[in-house]
Amino acid sequence: MSDNNLIFHIDVNSAFLSWEACKRLQKDPEAVDIRNIPAVIGGDESRRHGIVLAKSVPAKRYGINTAEPLASARKKCPDIMIIPPDFSQYVLCSNAFISYLNEVAPVVEQYSIDEAFCDMSGTSTLYGDPIEFAHKMKDEIYNRYGFTVNIGISTNKLLAKMASDFQKPNKVHTLFPDEIQTKMWPLPVNELFSVGKSTAARLLSLGFHTIGDIARCDKTLLISHFKKHGETIWNYANGIDSGDMTRPSTTKSFGNSITLSYDVTDESTAHMILLSLCETVGARIRADKSHISVVSVNITDSEFNNQSKQCTLPQSTNITEDIYHTALKLFNELWNNKPIRLLGVSTSHATDTTAAQVSLFNNPQNEKLAKLNSAVDKIREKYGEDSIKRARFIGSDYTHMTGGLNKEKRQ
């Protein structure tokens, strides 16, 4: 096996639940391992955050799925154990996981809190057979930290990620180009990366049942139905991924979202929630000494339809008011007046403050706002987040800083 182009995808098995189990067993080695009983990690039902965030294998046998309401999970398994999330614990476990990968891999690209890609090209002279070493990595992670992972191995990130999603938990799988037809093509269309529920339904209506059906079809047919995404689907079905591994950069993103306690139907309330989201996002950006240049807004309506829109700013900023006015514009262009269940604001293309672009025609008002934002940050840091707030939020049912600035969520 040549290792000239070798990618590992490492994915923690049922991360939140596994990390919760590790915490409990560390405190009491005699405690029940929640990975071995029907158990889920779930949010706050009173605030409509009552969905399954992670599930144990026994819970899966009852047909319980990630993101389904906790009430539905209880109907399927009345004795299910429901545990609230502990994000501070998850951050600690994630940091330990990524730290270990950085010990053994030349290049690590963190993909989410519980998964990462490792470029292992050229490492066989150091570690020997890549598949044998992947098993050693998997076992080492378990022995060190107490949780299991799946590792997918291939020549690109797409195929490595597809491989890691094969049989779980605690497995190593390969999906090399010569294995695509036997291992990937027989899978149903919904298991192809980037194919969601609505896309899968449309593919089925067009007569595509397996990934192989997609791979063997005329690409122009998919493009006619799905436009640019159709070409991506066809490429992925054939194992084509143009994304190269890159060394970690300083580019970051900052975002915030809220599932609302009731469906919002009026514009003024939605605008207030957007401001609350932007207040926290702006503070996080400044706390990180960064500037951002892309703002996006995400809306999920009461029927769980999702829409998003983004725009690039003429110059980078860390000013809350700039982020809010951009988000407001995007929201007004995006919202179709359907009841809103979730609102989100995210920012990206972040740069270090010292490298932030300064316009030759800088608006003096921005300088004043930057100083004001900085002063407010210092007051909140010293006296607490609620020590100063905009008058608009006095007497409001909504917090002036959705999500807050606690360290774990900021990380």
As annotated, the active-site residues are 115
What is the phi-psi region of residue 194: left when phi exceeds 0, alpha when psi lies from -120 to 50, beta otherwise?
left
Provide the H-helix boundaries in 56-206: 57-60, 70-76, 87-104, 124-127, 130-145, 157-164, 197-205
Task: From residue 357, give the alpha-carbon distance in Å to each of 60, 291, 313, 315, 317.
Answer: 50, 9, 11, 6, 9
CB 119 within 8 A of CB 106: yes
Strands 149-154 and 172-174, how do they pair?
A: parallel
Among 134, 109, 139, smallest CA distance to 123 is for: 134
Residue 41 β-bridge partners: 54, 83
- DSSP, collapsed to helix, strand or coil, labels residue 341 as strand
DSSP per residue, 147-186: --EEEEEESSHHHHHHHHTSS-SS-EEE--GGGIIIIITT
C-alpha–C-alpha distance, residues 90 and 355, integer Å: 32
Tally the residues of the chain: 411
DSSP per residue, 233-267: HHHHHTT---PPP----S---EEEEEEEEEEE--H
Among 269, 272, 275, 342, smallest CA distance to 302 is for: 342
